[in-house]
Amino acid sequence: MFTGLIQALGTIKPLSEDSWQITCVSHGDAIMQDIADGDSVAVDGVCLTVEEILKNGFIATASPETLRRTVLGQEETQHRYVNLETSLRVGGKVGGHFVMGHVDGVGQLVSALQTATSWEMTFTAPDAIARYIVPKGSITVNGISLTVATYAPEISQFTVAVIPLTYAETNLRQLSPGSWVNLEGDILGKYVEKFLSSGKSSKHGKTDQDENEITPAFLIEHGYL
């Protein structure tokens, strides 16, 4: 589990169809002093396992499912910059939100507009993640914990306001319109969806509703909607 607060930037170089060499290029000490073989590191929001530690980086392998759902499976991955974060330790600060490192799908940058106080970046979102996007809710873009400023469901696009520090210290500044990004929805939204879509089955195969079932009315009553 991660928090979406990026610790370092690295480059990624394919070694085979499913194996990569990740090299730290900025703030590498924050990563290298805190990892060992078998540890999890979020690479652009993708949870990967460290298989071999190098002088200033590490080697990791991804599963076919990871390749299918993320930017790692695209040819343009080679030598591009990636955001890096080590896994959350028990008792550690959660400065962003709970990020699982399980990417739901990829989106594209539509536009990046610099304002007086931030960068307003708009992305597309596939259906697999669009249903979890809500204004002022959390979303993970290339492993970065961001807050949704606006969401346009009719065109499946959302906008986030990125502060200058985040823009400067992550690979968001390397993106251009059309660039692909990894997206992960808020885990809380996924569990709420699961509870609302599944009832309690009775011995007759029917769905029973009781006072303990989580429904939209239950959530409203307890201040969640």
pLDDT in tens, 107-130: 999 999 999 999 999 999 998 888
> Average pLDDT per run of 10 along the chain, which is 225 residues long?
93 89 90 91 96 94 89 73 89 76 94 95 93 91 96 95 95 95 88 71 48 65 65
- Judging by DSSP bridges, how do beta strands 119-124 and 138-141 pair with one another? unpaired
pLDDT tens per residue, range 155-187: 999 999 999 999 999 999 999 999 999 999 988
Where do the domains of the chain lie?
A: 8-86, 105-187, 189-221
* 106 strand-pairing partners: 182
Question: Architecture of 105-187 per CATH?
Answer: Beta Barrel (2.40)
- The secondary structure of residue 137, as a DSSP letter, is -
Query: What's the confidence (pLDDT) of residue 191?
Result: 78
- Count of beta carbons in the 10 Å neighbourhood of residue 87: 17
SS3 76: helix
Assess whether the region 8-86 and the region 105-187 belong to the same CATH fold: yes
Q: Which of 51, 39, 5 is nearest to 165 (CA)?
A: 5
Q: Which fold has domain 8-86?
A: Elongation Factor Tu (Ef-tu); domain 3 (2.40.30)
Q: What is the structure's pLDDT at 211?
A: 53
